[in-house]
Amino acid sequence: MKIVIIGGVAGGASAAARLRRLDEQAEIVVFERTGYMSYANCGLPYYIGGVIRDEADLSLQTPESFYARFRIDVRVRQEVTSIDRAAKTVSVRPLDGGAPYTEHYDKLILSPGARPVKPPLPGVDSARVFTLRTVEDTLRLRAQAMSAGSGSAVIVGGGFIGVELAENFRELGLRVTIVEKQPQLLGQFDADMVSFLHAHLREKGVGLLLGRSVERFAETADGIIVHTDGGALPQADMAVLAIGVTPENTLAEAAGLELGARGAIAVDAHMRTSDPDIYAVGDAVEVIDRTTGRRTTVALAGPANRQGRVAADNICSLPSVYRGAAGSSVLKVFDRTAASTGISERTARGLGIDCAAVILSPLSHASYYPGAQVMTLKLVFETPSGKLLGAQIVGGDGVDKRIDVLATAIQAGLTAFDLCDLELSYAPPYSSAKDPVNMAGYMAENLLTGKVRQIRFDDLAALPRDGSVTLLDTRTSREFRGGHADGFDTNIPVDELRSRLGELDRSKPVYVMCQSGLRSYIACRILSQNGFACCNFAGGYRLWRSIAQEAEACASAYPCGLEK
């Protein structure tokens, strides 16, 4: 059997290696139009920033090493230009010269990936406007960044690539501004959670221009000027388009294969296309969202590798299925770690799902062991079932561990109630006896069973300020004097609450805030059992301050990194 694979990065390379492990006699040919195979796409920004120093480290395999180990014929710098399904051949054009030729296949795997979105804006083809997708892109970008010295860059788009590039450009000493059309970066996060990241990026000198669209680029003698719908930015040395990717479907569409979501290649659970002899994997295919059951695209290396394995299994007559993606991801943002899995609260509500969320700020490990770091964890779940829909975490140490537990719980079909019963490893340097995942479960259970009611940041503006309700801050007097939320002018520390209940009017609803939500929850339990109608503010003053400061930053003149 002869298998031809188009694309030799994550999904294609994984499929090729799995095929060889299953079938020693198969003839396997891989075509890759770039000069590199099996390269670390997710590591490209870190080579630009100098964290990864050796260019060779970007490639996990070379055609020579892959052949030595697997006896697989990998042909780089060769582009497949068309597929003849009737003849079962592909047409190939060598990019370094040589005559075009055809290659026969018995089975074909498409792993062409995705291409950067490049809108037809005036000036977008300037040599000073870059995209980042391949190793060749990386080398060009690094060369430009190094030549700029302590110059400047504008990044258009605030997704993973945009944020990672911002950090790495700053590490090189460049002044950086991110321009993002949406009102926030990192759209997979909710606005309340991403406010922490916005603040951290600004602290690190990254300018954020949110809610602005780029209209054109104007190249000058020694730079590039980015024009937005709010005016022109100061001249920069370079601009990078990082506004997302679109499935590379050119070959599939021309071959008459069925397309699905966003023009991605439609596949079944076995990664088989509408042609039974053609499979497709990776960023170019549509998959099932494990949380919603809807079809979507997920441009992540982990799912691509698993899909490659599934396609190889089925070609070799092993019944294997791909059950969909939860979109689990983790991102380094300077000194912070941001991670998510499943869908956001915004997405859930947009889909009409009845849901709720809890927000907590636990420590990464036992408080008495040195070095514990605060993280903010948001858990989104369906009501009243408690079905887990998604989670987001921003913090430092231990974020990746918790998001992986929650991703596993979502894929296993666990509910918020089940999180209470998870037995997770514990030692003071690594966790607490009540792990943050357990704590999220306890909080969700309290909400779902009516032990506590909560309000969110967006609810605060509607609270009356005429004295008909009590807005209570239960932090210590010292914390209160250091700053408190608007309107929360009554301060009774939670440890004094029982003895000072007489200071509160039982006829008035009480809305309670503390630093993170824990003490205010305890206060609500005290109040509700003493005849008060009580509501807890989710996330506490720490979250309120982050969102409020973000609103102030966006309302002021934008902090443009080009001017620093």
What residues act catalytically?
A: 42
DSSP 363: B
Sign of CA dihedral 287, 293, 294, 296: negative
Distance CA 501, CA 385 (A): 35
Distance CA 52, CA 142 (A): 12
Tokens at residue 360, please?
């907590």
Tokens at residue 422, please?
């998870």
Distance CA 246, CA 22 (A): 32
Backbone φ, ψ for residue 532 (5° rounding): -95, 145
Tokens at residue 377, please?
């964890």
Distance CA 411, CA 326 (A): 8
| Residue 204: CB atoms within 10 Å | 17
Distance CA 336, CA 149 (A): 26
Distance CA 450, CA 539 (A): 18
Q: Are strands 287-288 and 245-247 parallel, antiparallel or unpaired?
A: unpaired
Distance CA 252, CA 85 (A): 10
Distance CA 236, CA 216 (A): 14
Q: Are strands 224-228 and 214-219 parallel, antiparallel or unpaired?
A: antiparallel
Distances (CA, A) of 327 to 301, 311, 339: 10, 20, 10
Q: Judge contact between 38 and 60, C-beta under 8 A.
A: yes
- Taking the CA atoms of the chain, what radius of gyration do you get in angstroms? 27
Q: Which of 128, 361, 296 is nearest to 223 (CA)?
A: 128
Longest CA span, the chain: 91
Helical packing angle, 399-411 and 436-448, nearest 10°: 50
Tokens at residue 345, please?
């609260």
Distance CA 349, CA 352 (A): 5
Distance CA 555, CA 104 (A): 61
Torsion of CA 338, 343, 348, 354, to 10 degrees: -100
Distance CA 534, CA 452 (A): 8
